[in-house]
């Protein structure tokens, strides 16, 4: 996703260390968007970030990883978008049910 594609209502962007650059941070700051990007290990001046918000990103990544275990969703067998979303909903419901 490009930074230019972000909607006007975007308040925060969560990214991994690969997006830690002054250019990206400046571009987000110009649009009044808070960047939640941890600094790279070799960065001399380490800008602050919300660690708790960044931790939530990990939960989202884990959910996508679990969805990819469902072959139908990972390979996108369904041609129609509504059928594909139905498969995603069923898989997510089943994953949630197994977690409880």
pLDDT at 84 over 70: yes
Quickly state the pLDDT bin for 100 (edges 50, 70, 90).
Answer: low
pLDDT at 2 over 80: no
Prediction pTM value: 0.65
Are the CB atoms for 8 and 14 separated by under 8 Å? no
Q: What is the pLDDT of residue 4?
A: 75
Q: What is the pLDDT of residue 1?
A: 53
Are the CB atoms for 76 and 67 separated by under 8 Å? no
DSSP letters spanning the chain: --GGGS-TT--EEE--GGG--HHHHHHHHHTT-EEE-PPPTT-SS-----HHHHHHHHHHHHHHHHHHTSHHHHHT--SSHHHHHHHHHHHHHHHHHHH-
Are the CB atoms for 39 and 60 separated by under 8 Å? no
Q: What is the pLDDT of residues 18-68, one digit of tens each?
A: 888 889 899 899 989 888 999 999 988 888 888 898 888 888 888 888 888
């Amino acid at each position: 996703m490009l930074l230019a594609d972000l909607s006007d209502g975007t308040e925060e962007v969560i990214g991994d260390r690969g997006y830690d650059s002054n250019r990206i941070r400046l571009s987000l700051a110009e649009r009044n968007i808070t960047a939640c990007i941890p600094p790279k290990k070799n960065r001399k001046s380490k800008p602050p970030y919300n660690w708790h918000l960044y931790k939530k990103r990990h939960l989202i990544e884990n959910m996508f990883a679990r969805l990819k275990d469902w072959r139908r969703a990972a390979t996108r067998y369904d041609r129609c978008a509504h059928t594909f979303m139905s498969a995603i909903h069923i898989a997510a419901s089943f994953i949630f049910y197994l977690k409880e």
